Amino acid sequence: MIGLFQVAKAVQSVCLQHRWRFCFVGGLALQRWGEPRVTEDVDLTLLTGFGNEEPFIDELLRHFSPRVSDAKEFFASGTAAGVTYIASITHEGKEVVIGEGEMGDFAAYALKTLKGIQYGTIEDRFGWMVDLD
């Protein structure tokens, strides 16, 4: 698992270097906020704006080798239903604090926006919400 944390740190470094707005999601994020689980990848959400994903994808693929041949197409998909942040990672008794160890401005903004869209208090400009008749 420590290899996964090193990869996450490398991904974080690239994102911070480019001043991208991002957060980790999926199994890695659940290590902090949910049930312990085994995962083999680092799931990342980037705030790119719709239609502007390709430069972000190209830069990530420049730094990291994909595990699948259609990684560029795969990168542009997702099923985001929640937002979390990682305050720290502990492995074999050693804790690594991420950022300040608290939810940052972007994670708070993303959570507020997502929940607002889900509850109808913020306009759904992306067509995510569908009425079930």
48/19 Cα distance (integer angstroms): 11
Amino acid 116: pLDDT: 87
Q: Kindly report the CA angle at 8 between 20 and 57, in degrees rounded to 5? A: 45
Q: Are 97 and 90 in contact (CB under 8 A)?
A: no
CA atoms within 13 A on the CB side of 34: 12
Amino acid 53: pLDDT: 79
Q: Kindly report the CA angle at 72 between 104 and 48, in degrees rounded to 5? A: 35
pLDDT tens per residue across all 133 residues of the chain: 458 788 888 999 999 999 999 888 877 776 666 666 667 777 888 888 766 778 888 898 899 887 777 776 655 544 445 666 777 777 778 888 877 777 778 778 888 888 888 888 999 887 777 777 6
Amino acid 74: pLDDT: 57
DSSP per residue, 63-101: HS--SSTTHHHHHT-----------EEEETTEEEE-TTS
C-alpha 19, offset from chain centre = 14
Amino acid 57: pLDDT: 85
Amino acid 37: pLDDT: 64
Amino acid 112: pLDDT: 86
